[in-house]
Structure 1
Amino acid sequence: MVSGLVIALGCVMFLGGFAWAAVLYRPYTVPTESMRPTVAPGDKVLAQKISGSDVHRGDVVVFKDKLWGNEPLVKRVVGVGGDTVACCDKQGRLTVDGVPVDEPYLDGGGTAAQEAFKATVGKGELFMLGDNRSVSQDSRVHLEDAEGGAVPASDVKARVDATAWPFGRMGMLPTTSAFDKLPGGGQSPQGPLRWITFVVIAGAALIFGGAAYEPLANALRRRR
């Protein structure tokens, strides 16, 4: 009876964890090299479904904008409505409202951009850059568009929390404190994916443990 209850609890946790994830998260495949080394082309990522109004500087997001093409894209938010984003200062850093930003996630740890630019982000819009600045087709390329390089926050579909595949890159996305000193703070807290993973693993352990309990108990009784 005890093993049956343990298995039942494990099934509830295991299936409930997957259901919880299905409600909150969507899988995406990263199409380009623009976000190296944070995510690589072909990586399968898990992104929490959110409203664009909940996006903060430093977040890695999935969005789709008609001026940028037909496919969902993955970029990092470096500016929100009202920000003036510029590059570069004397140390080759990005600045937001004149405040220099150290970006440890940049590919190769180089300068924030190869060419100077400056843009003021409109209300309800987001300025997007890739972590691999040398190849990323991002807000810098779209500065002459009607949106001035930014995209409406409503275009954001989800915020990336983790890499799910390949196995060697599996794990939560590294967080950054790069934008913490700016008014309004920096990156959003990560979603509940760690808890969901714990619930699923714990559920699986209970299922296997409950299933093994009776045979092990019977074997011990026979030995005695």
Structure 2
Amino acid sequence: MGSTAERPAAEPAEPAEPAEDENTTGDHGGSLLHTVWSFVREVLIVVGLALALSLVLKTWVVQSFWIPSGSMENTLRVDDRVAVSLFTPRFADLDRGDVVVFSDPGGWLGAQPPAEAPATGLPAAVEQGLSWVGILPEDAGNHLIKRVIGLPGDRVACQGDGSPVTVNGVPLTEPYLYPGAAPSDTAFDIRVPEGHVWVMGDHRSDSADSREHDHPGENGSAGSVPIDDVVGRAVAVMWPVSHLDWLGVPETFESVPPPAAG
């Protein structure tokens, strides 16, 4: 007779894990708190890195300044914000025609109180902090902004009768001057000292610049600005949007030769 094959014994089934009761709270409160803290921590890290980067940029790369007066009109207008490259003159030479921000060489601003930037509506402490890290522009403080006309060794002159300003004997065509402004109502003939630059505002009749602070017989020594006082070169108007503009070097300076030796 044929035999019946034996069937293997079935292994006992593992007991199923009890399903989690949907009504059980567990540690959901702690989990939510952990999620919120992780989000806050990430935001703080991002903000901290942004502020640190802004501070580095302000210290070594670019800084924002606002324009408190009309001495550079119409190139720069009152309350414009400009971006200033700090590479010049730290790592690059100044050029004739550069618009530069510089510290008061001594007595240029007189005893007048520092100009104040327009209110932002933020608390004073917040404004100071944002200005410190470079997000808001610096106030005028003891800084001025003018255009470089003469470099060390240059002979800069003007007859003061509507004649053009000359640099090393070459008359300048100055398209950036305020409409209707004469090149200079003041006559001068100076030699820029070594380590200095001769600066003038684009609105010549409304600018107390190198001409104002030099005197007969000083031959540029008092009116010229030490290059060590130059903070940087203004490269662009950033605000308001309607004034957005790049501040390049006018072509008129390309024809100026190097200063004569001696």
* TM-score using structure 1 length: 0.68
Q: CA deviation at 1:99?
A: 1.2
When the two structures are aligned, how many residues end up with a matched partner?
Answer: 170
- The answer to which structure has the higher strand fraction is 1
Alignment of 1:79-118 (within 5 A): 79-88=150-159, 92-118=163-189
Deviations 1:133-177 (Å, cap 9, x if unpaired)? 011010000013793210111110010000111111023125411
- List gaps (5 residues or longer) in structure 2: 1-49, 110-140
Structure 1: distance between partners of 2:233 and 2:258: 18
Task: Say whether 1:165 aligns with 2:239.
Answer: yes
Q: Which residue of 1 aligns with 2:229?
A: 155
Identity %: 36
> 1:119, 1:148 within 8 Å by CA — same for their partners in 2?
no
Contact in 1 for aligned 2:162/2:183 (Cα 8 Å): no
Q: Deviations over 1:49-76 (max 9, x none)?
A: 0226711110000001223236110100
Task: Map 1:2-151 to 2 at 5 A.
Answer: 22=58, 23-49=60-86, 50-51=88-89, 54-64=93-103, 65-69=105-109, 71-88=142-159, 92-144=163-215, 147-151=221-225
Are the aligned partners of 2:236 and 2:245 in contact in 1 as well (CA < 8 Å)? yes
Contact 1:88–1:112 (8 Å) recurs in 2: no
Q: Which runs of 5+ in 1 are unaligned?
A: 1-14, 186-224
Which is worse superposed, 29-38 or 165-174? 165-174
Whole-angstrom distance in 1 between the partners of 2:196 and 2:202: 19
Secondary structure at 1:51's aligned position in 2?
helix
Q: Residue 54 of structure 1 aligns to a residue in which SS? A: coil
**Amino acid of the structure 1 residue aligned with 2:97:** G
Counterparts of 2:151 and 2:143, CA distance in 1? 20
Which shifted more, 107-116 or 83-92? 83-92
Q: Distance in 1 between matches of 2:159 and 2:236?
A: 30
Kindly indicate whether the alpha-carbon contact (under 8 Å) linking 1:31 and 1:73 is maintained by their aligned counterparts in 2: no
Shift of 1:89: 8.0
SS in 1 for 2:211: coil
Give the partner amino acid of 1:84: R
Q: Once superposed, what is the RMSD of the aligned Cα atoms?
A: 2.6
Distance (Å, rounded) in 2 between the aligned partners of 1:68 and 1:78: 18
Report if the CA contact (8 A) 1:87-1:117 is conserved: yes
Higher relative contact order (CA 8 A, sep 6+): 1
1:130–1:90 distance in 2 versus 1, CA, 3 Å: closer
Letter of the structure 2 residue corresponding to residue 58 of structure 1: G
* 89 and 97 in structure 1: CA distance in 2 versus 1, 3 angstrom threshold: farther
**Shift in Å, 1:28:** 0.4
* Partner-residue secondary structure (3-state), 1:180: helix
Give the secondary structure class of the aligned counterpart of 1:178.
helix
Larger-gyration structure (1/2): 2
Aligned in 2, Cα 1:95/1:105: closer, same or farther, shift over 3 Å? same
